[in-house]
Amino acid sequence: MGQEHDASECRGWRAAADLLLTPGVADCPLALIGAPQSEKSLTPGRCDLAPKILREVLRRFSVYDVESETDLSALPVADYGDLALKTLTPEQSFPLIVEAVRRAVDAHRLVVLAGGNNALTRPGVHGLGADLSKIGLVTLDAHFDLRDLDCGLTNGNPVRALLDDGLPGENIVQIGLAPFANTRRMHETAKAAGIGVHTITDCFEASAATLVKRALVRLSARCEAIYVDFDIDVIDRAQCPGAPGARAGGLPVRDFFAAARAAGAHPKVRAVDLTEFDPSLDASDLTALTAGRWFCEVLAGFAQRR
């Protein structure tokens, strides 16, 4: 007969959602901020629904990883709820996101931002500090996000805007760029700025997690804090239907999870985001479950820091 336990597995199941606590009720090393922004998306949709769906799907994940024998029970997360961004443009939401990230970074070791569209990344980076020369950015994305700024801020130009803000190109590494999803001009802009460029084929040859680890080593030598943007459209469209920008031939979802764990584990990574998840396009909760597993992988990586 197996070992007896005080609590029944039927009544004692602990879900990842149980890790989310009201700020201030416990000493939480991590924080969660919902940023349901969808205005000025190049592919209009309902990315604003994503933070709510992420929290709900966490009820379906346990806090234990059987592969690495990692238990997340001792990693409470301060959940700051959702910022009021649904009707705001990226220009209007910028100061709200920057302030929220700045406060959370001061109080916690790692901040998780749940978008919303990819316009979130620019204010998220600014939230790490005023001196952009000391900030690093890693993106996992099918796109450069280097569109021109003449039509204002959108989810297609946060990296371009950050370059104009003064973030050095040498402080940026972009991973997972897809064929026939970008332009020659964007590629030339990235190379001229000194951005590290890694295509989806590079991910297949070296693995996305390996490229993330290399990028973090490189950036940690010159940066005090690092931000990692996980645009979910880097994943293969067949495995991620709720990502309007995803393409066939993208990153296998298992590699996306490994990259999330690698980012969570690095001590200089102070904030990560998940963007471009549109629940209105999801099928069979596939993308929602991907988002939930991503969150758990970030936490599992963070557990390695301790």
* CATH code assigned at 278: 3.40.800.10
Residue 108 counted as domain residue: yes
| Predicted local confidence at residue 22, as pLDDT | 95
pLDDT > 80? residue 11 = no
Q: Which residues of 248-274 are buried (b: 16+ CB within 10 A; e: fewer)?
A: eebbbbebbbbbbbbbbbbeebbbbbb
Mean residue pLDDT of the chain comes to: 95
Residue whose entry in the numeric block shows the structure tokens 């909760």: 285
Is residue 7 over pLDDT 80?
A: no
**First vs last C-alpha separation in the chain:** 35
CB burial of residue 284 (10 Å; 0-12, 13-18, 19+):
exposed
- Region at 145 (left for phi over 0; alpha for psi -120 to 50; beta for the rest): left
Q: Which amino acid is at 48?
A: D
Please check whether residue 219 lies inside any domain of the structure: yes
Question: In the chain, where does DSSP find H-type helix?
Answer: 9-12, 50-57, 90-107, 121-126, 158-165, 184-193, 200-206, 208-220, 253-265, 286-305
- Is position 32 within any domain? yes
Share of the chain above pLDDT 70, in %: 97
**Domains of the chain: total:** 1
Under the banding of pLDDT at 50, 70 and 90, the label for residue 26 is confident
Torsion sign over Cα 194, 196, 200, 202: positive
Amino acid letter for position 262: A
Does the structure show a pLDDT above 70 at 4? no
Distance between CA 53 and CA 82 in Å, rounded?
12
Segment 40-52, tens digit of pLDDT: 888 888 999 999 9
pLDDT of 216 strictly over 70: yes
The reply to whether 2 falls in a domain is: no
For residue 170, tell me if it sits in a domain: yes
Structure pTM?
0.96
Q: What is the pLDDT of residue 263?
A: 98
Domain membership flag for residue 133: yes
pLDDT, tens digit, 9 for 90 and up, residues 233-270: 999 999 999 999 999 999 999 999 999 999 999 999 99
Separation CA 172–CA 215 (nearest Å):
9
Q: Is the pLDDT of residue 1 over 70?
A: no
In the block, residue with structure tokens 């302030």 = 99
Other beta carbons within 10 angstroms of residue 59's beta carbon come to 12
pLDDT, tens only, 104-129:
999 999 999 999 999 999 999 999 99
What domain range includes position 182? 9-305
- pLDDT bracket for residue 282 (50, 70, 90): very high
Q: Nearest Cα to 135, choosing from 172, 88, 165?
A: 172
Peptide bond between residue 166 and the one before it cis (omega within 30 degrees of 0)? no
279 has a pLDDT exceeding 60: yes
Q: Is residue 189 part of a domain?
A: yes
Residues 148/153/159/164 CA torsion (nearest 10 deg): 70
Q: Is residue 1 part of a domain?
A: no
- Spatial neighbors of 206 by CB under 8 A, at least 6 apart, are none
